[in-house]
Protein backbone atom coordinates (compact mmCIF):
# COMPACT_ATOMS: atom_id res chain seq x y z
CA UNK A 1 0.00 0.00 0.00
CA UNK A 2 1.33 3.43 -0.91
CA UNK A 3 0.56 6.66 0.89
CA UNK A 4 0.38 10.14 -0.66
CA UNK A 5 0.29 13.02 1.85
CA UNK A 6 -0.81 16.47 0.74
CA UNK A 7 -1.12 19.54 2.90
CA UNK A 8 -3.11 22.24 1.11
CA UNK A 9 -1.16 24.91 3.04
CA UNK A 10 2.27 23.75 1.91
CA UNK A 11 2.65 25.68 -1.34
CA UNK A 12 5.76 25.23 -3.45
CA UNK A 13 4.93 27.90 -6.02
CA UNK A 14 2.40 29.34 -8.42
CA UNK A 15 2.06 27.37 -11.64
CA UNK A 16 2.64 29.53 -14.71
CA UNK A 17 0.34 28.17 -17.40
CA UNK A 18 3.15 28.79 -19.86
CA UNK A 19 4.52 25.38 -18.80
CA UNK A 20 1.97 23.98 -21.27
CA UNK A 21 3.45 25.87 -24.22
CA UNK A 22 4.59 24.42 -27.52
CA UNK A 23 7.18 24.72 -30.26
CA UNK A 24 6.85 24.53 -34.05
CA UNK A 25 9.91 24.51 -36.28
CA UNK A 26 10.47 24.64 -40.01
CA UNK A 27 11.59 21.04 -39.98
CA UNK A 28 10.25 18.13 -41.99
CA UNK A 29 6.43 18.02 -41.88
CA UNK A 30 5.90 20.22 -38.81
CA UNK A 31 4.96 23.43 -40.60
CA UNK A 32 4.55 22.26 -44.22
CA UNK A 33 2.19 19.27 -44.28
CA UNK A 34 1.41 19.67 -40.59
CA UNK A 35 0.31 23.11 -39.48
CA UNK A 36 0.06 24.46 -43.02
CA UNK A 37 -1.06 22.71 -46.19
CA UNK A 38 -3.25 24.69 -48.59
CA UNK A 39 -3.97 21.46 -50.54
CA UNK A 40 -5.45 19.63 -47.54
CA UNK A 41 -9.26 19.25 -47.41
CA UNK A 42 -9.26 20.78 -43.91
CA UNK A 43 -7.25 23.89 -44.90
CA UNK A 44 -8.77 27.27 -44.11
CA UNK A 45 -8.62 30.25 -46.48
CA UNK A 46 -5.09 30.99 -45.24
CA UNK A 47 -3.83 27.47 -45.97
CA UNK A 48 -3.64 26.32 -42.33
CA UNK A 49 -5.11 22.93 -41.46
CA UNK A 50 -8.19 23.33 -39.25
CA UNK A 51 -8.05 19.71 -38.00
CA UNK A 52 -4.49 20.26 -36.72
CA UNK A 53 -5.45 23.63 -35.26
CA UNK A 54 -8.33 22.00 -33.35
CA UNK A 55 -6.08 19.26 -31.97
CA UNK A 56 -3.54 21.85 -30.81
CA UNK A 57 -6.31 23.98 -29.31
CA UNK A 58 -7.42 21.13 -27.05
CA UNK A 59 -3.90 21.12 -25.54
CA UNK A 60 -4.38 24.83 -24.80
CA UNK A 61 -0.73 25.95 -25.16
CA UNK A 62 -0.48 29.60 -24.06
CA UNK A 63 2.72 30.23 -26.09
CA UNK A 64 4.17 28.84 -29.32
CA UNK A 65 7.89 29.09 -30.05
CA UNK A 66 8.90 29.64 -33.71
CA UNK A 67 10.66 29.29 -36.21
CA UNK A 68 13.40 27.03 -34.68
CA UNK A 69 15.29 25.23 -33.35
CA UNK A 70 18.41 24.59 -35.36
CA UNK A 71 16.57 25.94 -38.41
CA UNK A 72 16.70 29.48 -37.08
CA UNK A 73 20.49 29.68 -37.15
CA UNK A 74 20.43 29.90 -40.95
CA UNK A 75 17.06 31.65 -41.35
CA UNK A 76 16.76 35.09 -42.91
CA UNK A 77 13.40 36.31 -41.69
CA UNK A 78 13.25 38.86 -44.54
CA UNK A 79 12.91 35.92 -47.00
CA UNK A 80 9.49 35.18 -45.49
CA UNK A 81 7.73 38.53 -45.92
CA UNK A 82 6.04 40.24 -48.87
CA UNK A 83 4.34 38.69 -51.93
CA UNK A 84 4.54 34.92 -51.65
CA UNK A 85 5.37 34.29 -55.29
CA UNK A 86 8.44 36.47 -54.94
CA UNK A 87 9.87 34.72 -51.88
CA UNK A 88 13.09 32.78 -52.43
CA UNK A 89 13.41 29.03 -52.01
CA UNK A 90 16.55 28.53 -49.90
CA UNK A 91 18.85 25.66 -49.10
CA UNK A 92 18.25 24.80 -45.45
CA UNK A 93 21.54 23.92 -43.79
CA UNK A 94 20.42 22.63 -40.38
CA UNK A 95 18.28 19.75 -41.61
CA UNK A 96 19.54 19.55 -45.23
CA UNK A 97 16.14 20.41 -46.66
CA UNK A 98 14.76 23.34 -48.64
CA UNK A 99 12.72 26.22 -47.27
CA UNK A 100 9.97 27.61 -49.49
CA UNK A 101 9.30 30.60 -47.21
CA UNK A 102 5.57 30.29 -47.86
CA UNK A 103 4.99 30.58 -44.12
CA UNK A 104 6.81 33.61 -42.75
CA UNK A 105 6.44 36.19 -40.01
CA UNK A 106 3.04 37.59 -41.03
CA UNK A 107 1.50 34.17 -41.68
CA UNK A 108 2.70 32.74 -38.37
CA UNK A 109 1.85 35.76 -36.22
CA UNK A 110 -1.59 36.15 -37.76
CA UNK A 111 -2.31 32.44 -37.27
CA UNK A 112 -1.30 32.86 -33.59
CA UNK A 113 -3.65 35.82 -33.31
CA UNK A 114 -6.55 33.89 -34.83
CA UNK A 115 -5.87 30.93 -32.53
CA UNK A 116 -5.12 33.09 -29.45
CA UNK A 117 -1.55 31.92 -28.82
CA UNK A 118 1.25 34.18 -27.67
CA UNK A 119 4.15 33.95 -30.14
CA UNK A 120 7.71 33.46 -28.92
CA UNK A 121 10.27 34.24 -31.63
CA UNK A 122 13.85 33.00 -31.67
CA UNK A 123 16.37 35.18 -33.48
CA UNK A 124 19.15 33.93 -35.73
CA UNK A 125 22.43 34.23 -33.82
CA UNK A 126 24.22 31.83 -36.19
CA UNK A 127 24.44 33.39 -39.63
CA UNK A 128 22.40 36.41 -38.53
CA UNK A 129 23.51 39.85 -37.36
CA UNK A 130 22.22 42.09 -34.60
CA UNK A 131 21.02 44.52 -37.26
CA UNK A 132 18.74 41.78 -38.64
CA UNK A 133 17.43 40.94 -35.17
CA UNK A 134 16.80 44.64 -34.48
CA UNK A 135 14.95 44.95 -37.81
CA UNK A 136 12.77 41.94 -36.92
CA UNK A 137 11.70 43.51 -33.61
CA UNK A 138 10.99 46.77 -35.47
CA UNK A 139 8.97 44.92 -38.16
CA UNK A 140 6.89 43.14 -35.51
CA UNK A 141 6.50 45.76 -32.81
CA UNK A 142 7.10 49.36 -33.98
CA UNK A 143 4.29 51.69 -34.96
CA UNK A 144 4.23 52.83 -38.60
CA UNK A 145 6.71 55.56 -39.51
CA UNK A 146 10.09 53.79 -39.67
CA UNK A 147 11.55 51.64 -42.45
CA UNK A 148 10.80 48.13 -41.15
CA UNK A 149 7.47 49.06 -39.56
CA UNK A 150 6.44 50.57 -42.89
CA UNK A 151 7.47 47.37 -44.68
CA UNK A 152 4.99 45.57 -42.41
CA UNK A 153 2.30 48.12 -43.27
CA UNK A 154 3.10 47.69 -46.98
CA UNK A 155 2.61 43.95 -46.48
CA UNK A 156 -0.92 44.60 -45.27
CA UNK A 157 -0.55 44.77 -41.51
CA UNK A 158 -0.92 48.22 -39.96
CA UNK A 159 -1.07 47.43 -36.23
CA UNK A 160 2.16 46.20 -34.63
CA UNK A 161 2.01 42.59 -33.48
CA UNK A 162 3.51 43.37 -30.08
CA UNK A 163 5.62 40.21 -29.77
CA UNK A 164 6.90 40.15 -26.19
CA UNK A 165 8.95 36.95 -25.96
CA UNK A 166 12.27 36.77 -27.86
CA UNK A 167 14.98 34.13 -27.58
CA UNK A 168 18.61 35.05 -28.16
CA UNK A 169 19.54 32.18 -30.49
CA UNK A 170 19.13 28.42 -30.30
CA UNK A 171 21.63 25.85 -28.92
CA UNK A 172 24.55 28.08 -29.87
CA UNK A 173 26.96 25.74 -28.06
CA UNK A 174 26.42 22.82 -30.49
CA UNK A 175 28.98 22.00 -33.19
CA UNK A 176 26.01 21.05 -35.38
CA UNK A 177 24.63 24.58 -35.04
CA UNK A 178 25.26 27.03 -37.89
CA UNK A 179 27.59 29.64 -36.35
CA UNK A 180 28.28 27.74 -33.09
CA UNK A 181 30.07 29.76 -30.40
CA UNK A 182 31.94 29.29 -27.14
CA UNK A 183 30.06 30.43 -24.05
CA UNK A 184 32.20 33.58 -23.77
CA UNK A 185 31.71 34.42 -27.46
CA UNK A 186 27.98 33.84 -27.09
CA UNK A 187 27.71 36.18 -24.11
CA UNK A 188 29.51 39.00 -25.97
CA UNK A 189 27.40 38.53 -29.10
CA UNK A 190 24.12 38.13 -27.20
CA UNK A 191 24.71 41.34 -25.24
CA UNK A 192 24.98 43.27 -28.53
CA UNK A 193 21.78 41.63 -29.83
CA UNK A 194 19.92 42.20 -26.56
CA UNK A 195 20.77 45.89 -26.37
CA UNK A 196 19.55 46.84 -29.85
CA UNK A 197 16.47 44.66 -29.52
CA UNK A 198 15.55 46.24 -26.17
CA UNK A 199 16.24 49.76 -27.48
CA UNK A 200 13.82 49.01 -30.33
CA UNK A 201 11.12 47.91 -27.87
CA UNK A 202 11.84 48.17 -24.16
CA UNK A 203 8.79 46.04 -23.30
CA UNK A 204 10.16 42.82 -24.79
CA UNK A 205 11.30 39.93 -22.58
CA UNK A 206 14.54 38.23 -23.55
CA UNK A 207 15.57 34.60 -23.11
CA UNK A 208 19.23 33.61 -22.96
CA UNK A 209 20.34 30.45 -24.74
CA UNK A 210 21.31 27.89 -22.14
CA UNK A 211 22.16 24.22 -22.61
CA UNK A 212 20.88 21.46 -20.33
CA UNK A 213 20.99 23.29 -17.00
CA UNK A 214 23.89 21.12 -15.84
CA UNK A 215 26.76 22.48 -17.91
CA UNK A 216 29.42 25.15 -17.46
CA UNK A 217 27.78 26.83 -20.47
CA UNK A 218 24.70 27.59 -18.33
CA UNK A 219 26.75 29.12 -15.52
CA UNK A 220 28.80 31.36 -17.83
CA UNK A 221 25.83 32.46 -19.95
CA UNK A 222 23.55 33.22 -17.01
CA UNK A 223 26.32 35.12 -15.29
CA UNK A 224 27.01 37.15 -18.44
CA UNK A 225 23.41 37.96 -19.33
CA UNK A 226 21.45 38.05 -16.05
CA UNK A 227 21.09 41.83 -16.17
CA UNK A 228 19.50 41.69 -19.64
CA UNK A 229 17.28 38.60 -19.66
CA UNK A 230 14.08 37.55 -17.92
CA UNK A 231 14.45 33.85 -18.71
CA UNK A 232 17.21 31.33 -19.32
CA UNK A 233 16.41 28.56 -21.78
CA UNK A 234 17.41 24.92 -21.32
CA UNK A 235 16.55 21.83 -23.39
CA UNK A 236 16.05 18.18 -22.48
CA UNK A 237 15.32 15.16 -24.62
CA UNK A 238 15.38 11.69 -23.10
CA UNK A 239 14.40 8.21 -24.14
CA UNK A 240 15.49 4.64 -24.36
CA UNK A 241 14.20 1.29 -25.65
CA UNK A 242 14.73 0.11 -22.06
CA UNK A 243 11.38 0.63 -20.28
CA UNK A 244 12.81 1.70 -16.94
CA UNK A 245 15.38 4.08 -18.41
CA UNK A 246 12.65 5.56 -20.61
CA UNK A 247 10.21 6.26 -17.78
CA UNK A 248 12.85 7.40 -15.26
CA UNK A 249 15.13 9.52 -17.46
CA UNK A 250 12.89 12.63 -17.21
CA UNK A 251 14.47 13.05 -13.76
CA UNK A 252 17.25 14.74 -15.72
CA UNK A 253 14.87 17.69 -15.75
CA UNK A 254 14.45 17.52 -11.98
CA UNK A 255 18.21 17.59 -11.48
CA UNK A 256 18.63 20.41 -14.02
CA UNK A 257 15.96 22.53 -12.36
CA UNK A 258 17.51 22.08 -8.93
CA UNK A 259 20.83 23.30 -10.33
CA UNK A 260 19.20 26.15 -12.25
CA UNK A 261 17.48 27.31 -9.03
CA UNK A 262 20.87 27.47 -7.36
CA UNK A 263 22.47 29.30 -10.32
CA UNK A 264 19.64 31.83 -10.51
CA UNK A 265 19.71 32.49 -6.75
CA UNK A 266 23.47 32.83 -6.84
CA UNK A 267 23.68 35.27 -9.76
CA UNK A 268 20.70 37.28 -8.49
CA UNK A 269 22.38 37.78 -5.12
CA UNK A 270 25.96 38.23 -6.33
CA UNK A 271 25.12 40.70 -9.09
CA UNK A 272 22.22 42.44 -7.30
CA UNK A 273 19.77 41.58 -10.08
CA UNK A 274 16.50 43.27 -9.26
CA UNK A 275 14.22 41.40 -11.67
CA UNK A 276 12.96 37.84 -11.58
CA UNK A 277 14.70 35.24 -13.75
CA UNK A 278 12.98 31.95 -14.51
CA UNK A 279 13.78 28.93 -16.65
CA UNK A 280 12.29 28.54 -20.11
CA UNK A 281 12.42 24.77 -20.72
CA UNK A 282 11.76 25.65 -24.33
CA UNK A 283 12.41 22.21 -25.80
CA UNK A 284 11.52 19.00 -23.97
CA UNK A 285 10.19 15.59 -24.94
CA UNK A 286 10.97 11.92 -25.44
CA UNK A 287 13.11 11.58 -28.58
CA UNK A 288 15.38 8.69 -29.41
CA UNK A 289 13.89 6.33 -32.00
CA UNK A 290 14.53 8.50 -35.01
CA UNK A 291 18.03 9.46 -33.91
CA UNK A 292 18.98 5.83 -33.36
CA UNK A 293 17.38 4.63 -36.58
CA UNK A 294 15.01 2.46 -34.48
CA UNK A 295 11.84 3.70 -36.06
CA UNK A 296 12.23 5.26 -39.44
CA UNK A 297 13.71 4.27 -42.75
CA UNK A 298 15.91 7.05 -44.10
CA UNK A 299 13.54 7.99 -46.92
CA UNK A 300 10.85 9.15 -44.46
CA UNK A 301 10.48 12.78 -43.40
CA UNK A 302 12.77 13.49 -40.45
CA UNK A 303 12.06 13.12 -36.73
CA UNK A 304 8.65 11.45 -37.07
CA UNK A 305 8.90 9.63 -33.76
CA UNK A 306 6.02 7.25 -33.02
CA UNK A 307 5.14 7.14 -29.33
CA UNK A 308 4.01 4.30 -27.08
CA UNK A 309 2.42 4.16 -23.63
CA UNK A 310 5.76 4.23 -21.81
CA UNK A 311 6.48 7.57 -23.52
CA UNK A 312 3.14 8.88 -22.24
CA UNK A 313 4.31 8.07 -18.69
CA UNK A 314 7.61 9.85 -19.34
CA UNK A 315 5.84 12.94 -20.66
CA UNK A 316 3.49 13.05 -17.65
CA UNK A 317 6.55 12.80 -15.39
CA UNK A 318 8.10 15.81 -17.11
CA UNK A 319 4.94 17.82 -16.48
CA UNK A 320 4.87 16.72 -12.83
CA UNK A 321 8.47 17.90 -12.49
CA UNK A 322 7.62 21.30 -13.99
CA UNK A 323 4.71 21.65 -11.53
CA UNK A 324 6.89 20.67 -8.55
CA UNK A 325 9.44 23.30 -9.69
CA UNK A 326 6.76 25.95 -10.26
CA UNK A 327 8.91 28.59 -8.58
CA UNK A 328 11.68 28.08 -11.13
CA UNK A 329 9.95 27.20 -14.42
CA UNK A 330 8.42 30.24 -16.15
CA UNK A 331 7.71 28.42 -19.41
CA UNK A 332 8.11 24.97 -20.96
CA UNK A 333 7.61 24.25 -24.65
CA UNK A 334 6.82 20.77 -25.84
CA UNK A 335 9.04 19.98 -28.83
CA UNK A 336 7.25 19.82 -31.10
CA UNK A 337 3.50 20.00 -31.87
CA UNK A 338 2.87 18.26 -35.23
CA UNK A 339 4.56 15.28 -36.95
CA UNK A 340 8.09 16.15 -35.79
CA UNK A 341 8.57 14.45 -32.36
CA UNK A 342 4.97 15.43 -31.77
CA UNK A 343 1.68 14.41 -30.13
CA UNK A 344 -0.26 15.03 -33.38
CA UNK A 345 0.47 12.96 -36.49
CA UNK A 346 -0.96 13.80 -39.91
CA UNK A 347 -1.42 12.40 -43.38
CA UNK A 348 -3.29 14.26 -46.13
CA UNK A 349 -6.89 14.62 -44.96
CA UNK A 350 -6.44 12.80 -41.65
CA UNK A 351 -4.63 12.80 -38.34
CA UNK A 352 -4.38 10.75 -35.18
CA UNK A 353 -3.37 11.59 -31.64
CA UNK A 354 -0.27 9.85 -30.34
CA UNK A 355 -0.16 8.32 -26.84
CA UNK A 356 1.67 11.34 -25.41
CA UNK A 357 -1.15 13.65 -26.47
CA UNK A 358 -3.53 12.37 -23.81
CA UNK A 359 -1.62 13.06 -20.58
CA UNK A 360 -0.58 16.46 -21.92
CA UNK A 361 -4.18 17.38 -22.65
CA UNK A 362 -5.46 16.09 -19.31
CA UNK A 363 -2.76 17.78 -17.24
CA UNK A 364 -3.11 21.03 -19.18
CA UNK A 365 -6.88 21.00 -18.70
CA UNK A 366 -6.98 20.17 -15.00
CA UNK A 367 -3.85 21.63 -13.38
CA UNK A 368 -4.66 24.41 -10.89
CA UNK A 369 -2.79 27.56 -9.92
CA UNK A 370 -1.12 26.60 -6.63
CA UNK A 371 1.53 23.87 -6.68
CA UNK A 372 1.65 21.85 -3.45
CA UNK A 373 4.32 19.86 -1.70
CA UNK A 374 3.66 16.12 -1.93
CA UNK A 375 5.04 13.28 0.13
CA UNK A 376 4.96 9.80 -1.41
CA UNK A 377 5.79 6.59 0.45
CA UNK A 378 5.31 3.26 -1.28
CA UNK A 379 6.94 0.66 -3.46
CA UNK A 380 10.18 1.73 -5.11
CA UNK A 381 12.30 0.72 -8.09
CA UNK A 382 16.11 0.62 -8.31
CA UNK A 383 17.36 1.65 -11.74
CA UNK A 384 20.24 -0.45 -13.02
CA UNK A 385 22.11 1.53 -15.63
CA UNK A 386 24.48 -0.25 -17.93
CA UNK A 387 26.21 1.13 -21.02
CA UNK A 388 23.49 -0.66 -23.03
CA UNK A 389 20.55 0.86 -21.18
CA UNK A 390 21.85 4.41 -20.93
CA UNK A 391 20.91 6.21 -24.05
CA UNK A 392 23.36 8.79 -25.36
CA UNK A 393 20.76 11.53 -25.35
CA UNK A 394 20.77 11.48 -21.55
CA UNK A 395 23.11 14.26 -20.47
CA UNK A 396 24.06 12.27 -17.35
CA UNK A 397 23.09 9.02 -15.64
CA UNK A 398 20.16 9.11 -13.23
CA UNK A 399 20.81 5.92 -11.27
CA UNK A 400 22.42 7.99 -8.50
CA UNK A 401 18.88 9.15 -7.72
CA UNK A 402 17.93 5.57 -6.68
CA UNK A 403 15.60 4.37 -5.31
CA UNK A 404 12.71 5.81 -7.31
CA UNK A 405 9.19 5.81 -5.94
CA UNK A 406 6.97 3.70 -8.18
CA UNK A 407 4.45 6.56 -8.13
CA UNK A 408 5.35 10.01 -9.38
CA UNK A 409 2.88 12.59 -8.07
CA UNK A 410 2.22 16.31 -8.51
CA UNK A 411 -0.58 18.18 -6.75
CA UNK A 412 -2.19 21.56 -7.37
CA UNK A 413 -5.19 23.37 -5.96
CA UNK A 414 -7.16 26.47 -6.83
CA UNK A 415 -6.86 29.66 -4.79
CA UNK A 416 -10.29 29.11 -3.22
CA UNK A 417 -9.38 25.54 -2.13
CA UNK A 418 -12.44 24.18 -3.87
CA UNK A 419 -10.56 21.68 -6.00
CA UNK A 420 -7.43 19.58 -5.65
CA UNK A 421 -5.84 17.94 -8.69
CA UNK A 422 -3.32 15.12 -8.55
CA UNK A 423 -1.40 13.69 -11.48
CA UNK A 424 -0.23 10.20 -10.54
CA UNK A 425 2.11 8.18 -12.75
CA UNK A 426 2.29 4.50 -11.82
CA UNK A 427 5.42 3.15 -13.48
CA UNK A 428 4.95 -0.43 -12.37
CA UNK A 429 4.49 -2.24 -15.71
CA UNK A 430 2.55 -5.17 -14.25
CA UNK A 431 1.05 -4.31 -10.86
CA UNK A 432 -1.45 -1.77 -9.69
CA UNK A 433 -0.52 0.28 -6.63
CA UNK A 434 -3.29 0.57 -4.01
CA UNK A 435 -2.85 3.97 -2.39
CA UNK A 436 -4.20 6.01 0.48
CA UNK A 437 -4.35 9.74 -0.19
CA UNK A 438 -4.17 11.68 3.05
CA UNK A 439 -5.32 15.32 2.98
CA UNK A 440 -4.44 18.09 5.44
CA UNK A 441 -6.12 21.51 5.70
CA UNK A 442 -8.81 20.47 3.22
CA UNK A 443 -11.23 17.55 3.06
CA UNK A 444 -12.79 15.96 0.02
CA UNK A 445 -16.42 16.84 -0.42
CA UNK A 446 -18.37 15.79 -3.49
CA UNK A 447 -18.12 13.99 -6.79
CA UNK A 448 -14.61 13.69 -8.18
CA UNK A 449 -13.28 12.59 -11.55
CA UNK A 450 -10.50 10.15 -12.39
CA UNK A 451 -9.07 10.44 -15.92
CA UNK A 452 -6.82 7.51 -16.70
CA UNK A 453 -4.50 6.69 -19.60
CA UNK A 454 -3.40 3.06 -19.56
CA UNK A 455 -3.16 -0.17 -21.57
CA UNK A 456 -2.14 -3.72 -20.79
CA UNK A 457 0.91 -3.31 -23.05
CA UNK A 458 3.48 -0.56 -22.25
CA UNK A 459 4.50 -0.67 -25.92
CA UNK A 460 0.95 0.04 -27.19
CA UNK A 461 0.71 2.80 -29.79
CA UNK A 462 -1.97 4.63 -31.72
CA UNK A 463 -2.03 4.73 -35.51
CA UNK A 464 -4.30 5.81 -38.37
CA UNK A 465 -6.09 2.45 -38.29
CA UNK A 466 -6.15 2.23 -34.46
CA UNK A 467 -6.42 5.84 -33.29
CA UNK A 468 -7.89 4.97 -29.88
CA UNK A 469 -5.74 2.00 -28.90
CA UNK A 470 -4.43 4.21 -26.07
CA UNK A 471 -7.10 6.71 -25.03
CA UNK A 472 -8.20 8.32 -21.76
CA UNK A 473 -11.04 6.89 -19.74
CA UNK A 474 -13.05 8.91 -17.22
CA UNK A 475 -14.83 7.63 -14.13
CA UNK A 476 -16.45 9.52 -11.29
CA UNK A 477 -16.33 8.83 -7.57
CA UNK A 478 -17.83 10.19 -4.36
CA UNK A 479 -15.15 11.56 -2.05
CA UNK A 480 -15.71 12.66 1.53
CA UNK A 481 -13.26 13.36 4.35
CA UNK A 482 -9.51 13.47 4.79
CA UNK A 483 -8.60 10.03 3.41
CA UNK A 484 -9.25 8.56 -0.01
CA UNK A 485 -8.26 5.17 -1.35
CA UNK A 486 -7.34 4.55 -5.01
CA UNK A 487 -5.88 1.68 -6.94
CA UNK A 488 -3.62 3.07 -9.66
CA UNK A 489 -3.48 0.62 -12.59
CA UNK A 490 -0.16 -0.71 -13.88
CA UNK A 491 1.65 1.52 -16.37
CA UNK A 492 -0.78 4.40 -16.09
CA UNK A 493 -1.23 8.13 -15.80
CA UNK A 494 -4.20 9.22 -13.68
CA UNK A 495 -5.43 12.77 -13.24
CA UNK A 496 -7.63 12.97 -10.14
CA UNK A 497 -9.89 15.94 -9.70
CA UNK A 498 -11.15 16.09 -6.13
CA UNK A 499 -13.69 18.66 -4.91
CA UNK A 500 -12.59 20.01 -1.52
CA UNK A 501 -13.53 22.35 1.31
CA UNK A 502 -11.20 23.87 3.89
CA UNK A 503 -10.86 21.91 7.13
CA UNK A 504 -9.58 22.86 10.56
CA UNK A 505 -7.72 19.60 11.14
Active site residues: 171, 283
Is the Cβ of residue 94 or residue 470 nearer to ligand AHR in the bound state? 94
Report strand pairing: 442-454 vs 492-502.
Answer: antiparallel
Residues 332/280, Cβ–Cβ less than 8 Å: yes
Query: DSSP string spanning 292-344?
Result: TTSS--TTSPTT----BHHHHHHHHHHHHHHHHTTTTEEEEEEE-SBSSS-SE
State residue 190 phi and psi, 5-degree precision: -65, -35
Is the Cβ of residue 211 or residue 451 nearer to ligand AHR in the bound state? 211
Separation between Cα atoms, residue 145 and residue 154, nearest integer Å: 11
Query: What is the closest distance, in whole angstroms, from the C-beta atom of residue 23 to ligand AHR in the complex?
Result: 7
Is the Cβ of residue 302 or residue 397 nearer to ligand AHR in the bound state? 302
Separation between Cα atoms, residue 267 and residue 224, nearest integer Å: 9
CA dihedral 239, 241, 242, 243 (to 10 degrees): 80
- The answer to the question of residue 212 lying near ligand AHR (CB under 6 A) is no
Residues 149/139, Cβ–Cβ less than 8 Å: yes
**Looking at 68-76, 251-259, 304-312, 365-373, which segment touches ligand AHR (CB under 6 A)?**
68-76
500 pairs with which residues across the strands? Answer: 444
Separation between Cα atoms, residue 483 and residue 425, nearest integer Å: 19
Handedness of CA 361, 366, 369, 370 (dihedral sign): negative
- The answer to the question of residue 458 lying near ligand AHR (CB under 6 A) is no
**Looking at 43-51, 63-71, 352-360, 376-384, which segment touches ligand AHR (CB under 6 A)?**
63-71
- The answer to the question of residue 25 lying near ligand AHR (CB under 6 A) is yes
Query: What is the closest distance, in whole angstroms, from the C-beta atom of residue 311 to ligand AHR in the complex?
Result: 15
Query: What is the closest distance, in whole angstroms, from the C-beta atom of residue 176 to ligand AHR in the complex?
Result: 8
Q: Would you say how long the chain is, in residues?
A: 505
411 pairs with which residues across the strands? Answer: 372, 422
**Looking at 12-20, 64-72, 318-326, 438-446, which segment touches ligand AHR (CB under 6 A)?**
64-72
Residues 205/331, Cβ–Cβ less than 8 Å: no
Query: What is the closest distance, in whole angstroms, from the C-beta atom of residue 395 to ligand AHR in the complex?
Result: 12
- The answer to the question of residue 70 lying near ligand AHR (CB under 6 A) is yes
- The answer to the question of residue 378 lying near ligand AHR (CB under 6 A) is no
Count of other CB atoms within 10 angstroms of residue 311:
28
Please tell me the count of residues contacting ligand AHR according to CB under 6 A: 9
Query: What is the closest distance, in whole angstroms, from the C-beta atom of residue 365 to ligand AHR in the complex?
Result: 25
Residue of 37, 283, 304, 308 interacting with ligand AHR (CB under 6 A): 283
Query: What is the closest distance, in whole angstroms, from the C-beta atom of residue 291 to ligand AHR in the complex?
Result: 10
- The answer to the question of residue 30 lying near ligand AHR (CB under 6 A) is no
Is the Cβ of residue 70 or residue 328 nearer to ligand AHR in the bound state? 70
Separation between Cα atoms, residue 199 and residue 20, nearest integer Å: 30
Q: Which of 280, 281, 301, 177 is nearest to 238 (CA)?
A: 281
Instruction: List Cβ neighbours of 261 (8 Å cut-off, separation of 6 or more).
Output: 325, 327, 328
- The answer to the question of residue 69 lying near ligand AHR (CB under 6 A) is yes
Query: What is the closest distance, in whole angstroms, from the C-beta atom of residue 413 to ligand AHR in the complex?
Result: 33
- The answer to the question of residue 215 lying near ligand AHR (CB under 6 A) is no
Count of other CB atoms within 10 angstroms of residue 91:
9
- First and final C-alpha spacing in the chain: 24
Is the Cβ of residue 3 or residue 90 nearer to ligand AHR in the bound state? 90
Q: Which of 216, 110, 96 is nearest to 163 (CA)?
A: 110
Is the Cβ of residue 68 or residue 343 nearer to ligand AHR in the bound state? 68
Is the Cβ of residue 106 or residue 283 nearer to ligand AHR in the bound state? 283
Residue of 13, 22, 33, 68 interacting with ligand AHR (CB under 6 A): 68
- The answer to the question of residue 312 lying near ligand AHR (CB under 6 A) is no
Instruction: List Cβ neighbours of 308 (8 Å cut-off, separation of 6 or more).
Output: 355, 458, 459, 460, 461, 470
**Looking at 65-73, 213-221, 326-334, 413-421, which segment touches ligand AHR (CB under 6 A)?**
65-73
Is the Cβ of residue 20 or residue 244 nearer to ligand AHR in the bound state? 20
- The answer to the question of residue 170 lying near ligand AHR (CB under 6 A) is yes
Cα separation values, 491 from 264, 316, 399, 406, Å: 36, 12, 20, 10
Residue of 194, 206, 335, 425 interacting with ligand AHR (CB under 6 A): 335
Return the residue nearest ligand AHR (CB atom).
69
Query: What is the closest distance, in whole angstroms, from the C-beta atom of residue 342 to ligand AHR in the complex?
Result: 10
- The answer to the question of residue 304 lying near ligand AHR (CB under 6 A) is no
Query: What is the closest distance, in whole angstroms, from the C-beta atom of residue 70 to ligand AHR in the complex?
Result: 4
- The answer to the question of residue 92 lying near ligand AHR (CB under 6 A) is no
List of residues contacting ligand AHR (CB under 6 A): 25, 68-70, 170-171, 283, 335-336
Amino acid sequence: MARIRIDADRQVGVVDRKIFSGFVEHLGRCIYGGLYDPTDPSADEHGFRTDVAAAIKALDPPVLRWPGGNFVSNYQWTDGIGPRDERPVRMELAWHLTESNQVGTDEFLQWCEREHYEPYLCVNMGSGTFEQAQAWVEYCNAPAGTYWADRRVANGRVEPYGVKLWALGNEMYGEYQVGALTAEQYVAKARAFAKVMQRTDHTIRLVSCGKDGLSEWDRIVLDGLADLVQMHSIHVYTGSPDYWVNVLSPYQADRALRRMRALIDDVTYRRSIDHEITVAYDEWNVWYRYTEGIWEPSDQPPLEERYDLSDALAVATYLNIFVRHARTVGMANLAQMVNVIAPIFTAPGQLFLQTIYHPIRLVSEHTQEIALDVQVDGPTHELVETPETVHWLLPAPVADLNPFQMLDVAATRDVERSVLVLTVVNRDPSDSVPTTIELRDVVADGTGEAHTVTHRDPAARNDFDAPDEVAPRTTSFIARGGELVFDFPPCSVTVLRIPTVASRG
